[in-house]
Structure 1
Amino acid sequence: MVQRQQVVMFEIKKASEAEIAERGDLADKVADALARAGFAVHRDVNDASGALGAMAWADPADDSGGGVFVRWLIDPAFSRAAVQSVQQGDVESAAFKHFSTVTEQMYAALLAILTSAGFQSEDADDDMSPYTIRVKG
């Protein structure tokens, strides 16, 4: 007897087309404000490997995961060095301290710049993606 595996597919419920378009417009305005401030801004959250600078994107989900977000992208080798330090229990290493300083300072700078540009910006409160900013109009 051949057993069949059932593949369970799930679909993330998306916001309305109007809401998705509104988020896209807001993400465009956010990206423009950051670019005017001198940042390299990336928009494709699905292809961020190797990208450096600010990432601004609109998530179409119709739940608390949806909205417009910004985060700072650093060199992957820089991140790996910090992770390696933590895995070795060395949170006092120069690599980890430098990574922490850059991450925290760029988060604060992006938050301040977005707020100054007139956006309602706050911590996204996402344990899986710390130092991510949620932007509202």
Structure 2
Amino acid sequence: MPQLGHRLRKLAAAVAAGLARSGLVVFSRKNQQQETAAGGLRVEVDEFDDAAGGIWLHWDVHPSLRKATIEALREQRLDDPVIAATGRIHEQMASTMLCLLGALGYVAEASDDDYRPFAIKVLSAAV
């Protein structure tokens, strides 16, 4: 398992660097407060050797949009346009990340994990 974790972290770092060079703002837990003011790409490394394990990419919208969406859901305003807009943004950014990863030579797929909606799973390194 330690070797799997090392391999995944190394691949995740390469993916993050490639996407950053493509123009996306990439943040980690270490620099989260500084760079997430406007949202951006979050890279998750799940080191478990199971179907949910691997490298996951998530798009985080601006905190003000995230807060408005959460408030609308909490207040059960399910027809609030902010909910639909946030969903469309996540869909478009997932599609964009897939395109960028393909251009960089990575193999990736859209998430089918209910706990990671709109996420992208990186399957293999650039060739």
Asked if 1:80 is matched to 2:67, the reply is yes
> Secondary structure of the residue that 1:104 maps to in structure 2?
helix
Measured after TM superposition, the shift of residue 65 of structure 1 is 2.2
Partner of 2:47: 60
- Larger helix proportion of the pair: 2
Distance 1:48 1:124, change over 3 A: farther
Asked if 1:127 is matched to 2:127, the reply is no
Matches within 5 A, 1:46-57: 48=32, 51=36, 52-57=39-44
Asked if 1:24 is matched to 2:20, the reply is no
| Distance in 1 of aligned mates of 2:119 and 2:61 | 13
| Distance in 2 of aligned mates of 1:101 and 1:57 | 22
Distance 1:129 1:76, change over 3 A: farther
Partner of 1:118: 105
| Distance in 2 of aligned mates of 1:113 and 1:83 | 29
TM value normalised by structure 1: 0.76
Measured after TM superposition, the shift of residue 130 of structure 1 is 0.3
Over residues 63-114 of structure 1, what are the superposed CA-to-partner deviations in whole Å (9 max), with x where a residue is unaligned?
A: 2221111110112331232233344444432312321221111111111111
RMSD over aligned Cα, in angstroms? 2.1
Larger Rg: 1 or 2? 1
Partner of 1:35: 20
Could you tell me which runs of 5 or more consecutive residues in structure 2 were left unpaired when the two chains were aligned.
none
Measured after TM superposition, the shift of residue 53 of structure 1 is 0.5
> Secondary structure of the residue that 1:128 maps to in structure 2?
coil
Partner of 1:104: 91
Give yes or no for contact 2:43–2:56 (8 Å, CA) kept in 1: yes
Give yes or no for contact 2:94–2:110 (8 Å, CA) kept in 1: no
> Secondary structure of the residue that 1:111 maps to in structure 2?
helix
Partner of 1:12: none
